[in-house]
Chains A and B, each alone.
Chain A
């Protein structure tokens, strides 16, 4: 998740100070991982340096004065480019799991145990996400569904590998 792009996107609705941005980010994207103030201000300072945001006045309050930030035209172009660029599909865990399975076969350990243990861990996470989803709002449901579909794809790979374990054992032995 690019925090810089997320903050830029949040600034498109109008200038905000750091505290508002943190609250808006946490509410929309934070879920299990809220932003630290340090992350917000270091990101804003980088965006400012790169000309993607500008200072839009200072708000006086009981505490220290608070700077407001506004997105620049360059910032809008940048966030638009980010939104239009697909994320690189990742291969997630397969490389590690493949290595574990092959090493188990090479060392005479049970590769099925390796796969089953991973499968149980995956399903435990899927149960947790399903519980969170059923008790959550629509944003929770969509985020959990995304994770669930990815984990399901991993599980299908684990099942297929388990079904091919004898074949793989022969290749590894050869």
Chain B
């Protein structure tokens, strides 16, 4: 297992979000996390990615227990080992699409020339080189999301966390993003944790985990 969470509990004030949830993800696997609104699926993803610390329970990435790491080391791990795609891209509005994709590499100390050459490769792969010099606000929703996928993959992450990556897109663009995201992840051997409420999006996964009332169920064992 590349990622394993056990018995996670997390509350926001007096509202419980996770109540004993767990998940295991193998290297290179695409796992869909589904469930009704407010069931805790995004909280689970944030705990798995080390963005949130659970109140109790453990999250292991390879042999590292995430909640035991100091904040700085967790941030470094996120930058170097994880990639992120969110519903609205969350690209930096002041930068061009090319600069956005190169950003994770630049933050890691890579030269501008080298970082942008790698970024161009990923923009080509995601079929969005035409917008490389545009700012995110000048692109369509589908293009912006493909730029966000390129940014998530540029630093060769071991795990990609995607939270409703097609939530703001129409069916055709959503399908295209999912096809490109999952095929690129499979080619590079990255695992994907995909939070979605859309079954057609989840159908790009290898396996499904359902979260209800803060508890998770691996659907592989439901049949």
Contacts and interface: CB of A to CB of B under 8 A. Distances in A.
Interface of A: 113, 116-117, 119-124, 126-127, 129-130, 134, 148-149, 151-152, 155-156, 159, 162-163
Given A130-B200, A134-B179, 17 more contacts: A113-B222, A116-B210, A116-B222, A117-B222, A119-B219, A120-B208, A120-B219, A121-B223, A123-B199, A123-B202, A123-B219, A129-B203, A148-B203, A152-B199, A152-B200, A156-B199, A163-B36
Nearest to A124: B223
B193 to A, nearest CB: 17
Mostly, the A contact residues are helix
Nearest to B178: A130
Contacts of B206: 127
B204 A120 contact: no
Interface residues of B, number: 19
Mostly, the B contact residues are mixed
Given A116-B219, A134-B179, A152-B199, A123 B208 contact: yes
Interface of B: 36, 179, 183, 198-200, 202-206, 208, 210, 212, 217, 219-220, 222-223
A135 to B, nearest CB: 11
A116 B203 contact: no
A151 B203 CA distance: 11
Contacts of B208: 120, 123
Contacts of B220: 120
